[in-house]
Amino acid sequence: MRRIYITGAAGFIGFHLARLLLDEGHAVQGFDGVTDYYDPQLKRRRLAILAGYPGFGFTEAMLEDNARLSADIAAFRPQVIVHLAAQAGVRYSLEAPRAYLSANIEGTFNVLEAARDHGVGHLMLASTSSVYGANAAMPYRETDKADSQMSLYAATKKATETLSHAHAHLWGLPVTAFRFFTVYGPWGRPDMAPYKFTRAILAGEPIDVYGQGQMARDFTAVGDLVRAIRLLIEVPPVRPADPAGIAPGDSLSPVAPWRVVNIGNGEKVALDDFIAAIEAATGRTARRNLMAMQKGDVRATWADTGLLQRLTGYRPQTGIREGMAEFVGWYRDYHGL
């Protein structure tokens, strides 16, 4: 049995990861501010499910409360920290930029310091495919240069990767940073396209389709994503004895026990095909309201998942039609439709 600390445990991904680990019999301590960025009631209902497990504990507090965070980690004595809590959303970063600086940078620094102070064996932190920014070559590889972020959200996430590398180098803290690619599934966030499109289509309302529909995403089912995180727990990076011996295509640092790993489906799905999957799952036809690209958005994302497969033997592969059918089924049940 492992002792695993999850920040953002009331969130979409944190909830699914905690439940997976609890089902395996591990002890999980969650930490979350339960903010109102989106409906807190959805977060409370996720927490209610987790509270049914005897191995789950929870602290409600903000990452910026360093004393509370550090004391909580010290009391739980985790072997692994999975840092998922963050201020999310590309578009919201245009409206409330300081929330991203506070939660994502200051909050992550507090997690890094607590992990160092309390001798955590493996720190894992969530980044995003958005850090690839203006990169045109696809699929995105972890070893690609990623210095052209196009939103404040992406910039803060890239900053957390850099901060974590410094900690790994200075203090020998093993760090795995993972870059998520458009995660969706049951209990998903209401501010994301799967939820918004499903709600509108079922209500007979038009959907806003940005980029005139000429966009594509690497959609990743949440069950696949948390399985990948679970497997990566078992392969913490180590400082290379010989930097020249790092395997080609491995993002391992030459000077630190640090690595970044893409977690995506490895497939670029056109926006029209994504909408068609929702139409098939709902049995309804979408009415499209074509819109221009939004500030900070990128035209497409697509993950190279070769490193994840080499490290864990696993590759996410849930197809968009299968995944959206599962999501729509959950949505109908959750809303009593």
The token duo for 203 is 């209500």
Burial class (CB in 10 A: 0-12, 13-18, 19+), 271: buried
C-beta of residue 256 within 8 angstroms of C-beta of residue 169: yes
Question: In terms of DSSP H, where are the helices of the chain?
Answer: 12-23, 40-50, 66-76, 97-100, 107-117, 152-171, 193-203, 222-233, 271-282, 306-312, 320-334
CB of 82 closer than 8 Å to CB of 5: yes
Give DSSP secondary structure letters for 154-206.
HHHHHHHHHHHHHHHHHH---EEEEEE--EE-TT--TTSHHHHHHHHHHHT--
Catalytic center residues = 153
213: alpha, beta or left, given left = phi > 0 and alpha = psi -120 to 50? left
